[in-house]
Amino acid sequence: MPTSFGLSVPGASAAAAETLRVPVHPAGLTAANALGLTTQNPMRLEYATPAAKPPTALRNAIVYTGRPGSRRGLSADEGAVLEILRERARSSDLSPEQTVRRLKRAVSEEATYARLASAATSEPPRVRAMLGALGQELGMPPRLLAPLRGSLNPLSRFDFGRLRSLRYADEWQAK
């Protein structure tokens, strides 16, 4: 990973995460760092997995278990996007507008967005709403946005946190 002092060597937990059989995705500050939303490196790496128990190889990391199984086919960065949406981009050190720009860049390819939209059907409604607002801002096809919109209760409102600055946040039921 590039740092201001040159390339850094991955820690034992990061190296172990690459060799696991169960899918793990960066979470928290680890996800924010992977997506370029912060330059902070957490003291203990954070990961999320659909597994019921944390992998023993990551015993020095913080591991959030029980994430939806629909994440199994996602890349590390795609899983990191869902984690950032789950936490309403709280780990970002960037302004809300810069945070939105970075996330839009991360999901700008239609194939990437399609995988995220498919996996998001098992995520909390606020994640589906934020992903929908991102997709609408990017001009994603209606066939990808419709299932997300259809899965939301029209009477609910969602806290978008730092992503409240999304252009279509109100249309996606932001508070």
Residues 39-72 pLDDT 10s: 998 899 999 999 998 888 888 899 999 999 999 9
Provide the pLDDT for residue 109: 97
* Per-residue pLDDT at 16: 45
> 89 in the Ramachandran plot: left (φ > 0), alpha (ψ -120 to 50) or beta?
left
Torsion of CA 132, 85, 32, 144, to 10 degrees: -30
Please state, in angstroms and as integers, the Cα–Cα distance from residue 71 to each residue in 5, 104, 142, 153, 174, following that order: 34, 19, 22, 23, 24
Question: What's the domain count of the chain?
Answer: 1
Range of the domain at 168: 2-172
Decide if pLDDT at 20 tops 80.
no
Higher pLDDT pick, 18 / 167? 167
pLDDT value at residue 33: 95
pLDDT recorded at residue 171: 97
Looking at residue 10, its pLDDT comes to 52
How confident is the model at residue 4, as a pLDDT? Answer: 58
> Rounded distance, CA 165 to CA 96, Å?
6
Q: How open is the CA angle 79-15-9, to the nearest 5 degrees?
A: 110
Q: If pLDDT is split at 50, 70 and 90, which confidence band does 12 have?
A: very low
- pLDDT for 90-141, tens place per residue? 999 999 999 999 999 999 999 999 999 999 999 999 999 999 999 999 999 9
Q: What pTM does this model have? A: 0.86
Residue 3 has pLDDT above 90, yes or no: no
Contact (CB, 8 A) for 68 and 39: no
On the question of pLDDT at 11 being above 70, the answer is no
Amino acid identity of residue 158, one-letter, is: F
Measured distance CA(88)–CA(105) in Å, rounded: 17
Predicted confidence at residue 31, as pLDDT, reads 96
Geometric angle at alpha carbon 81, from 78 and 141, rounded to 5°: 75
Position 8 scores a pLDDT of 55
Give the range among 17-26, 69-78, 130-139 with minimum mean pLDDT.
17-26
pLDDT at residue number 13: 40
Per the CB < 8 A criterion, the answer to whether 25 and 76 are in contact is yes
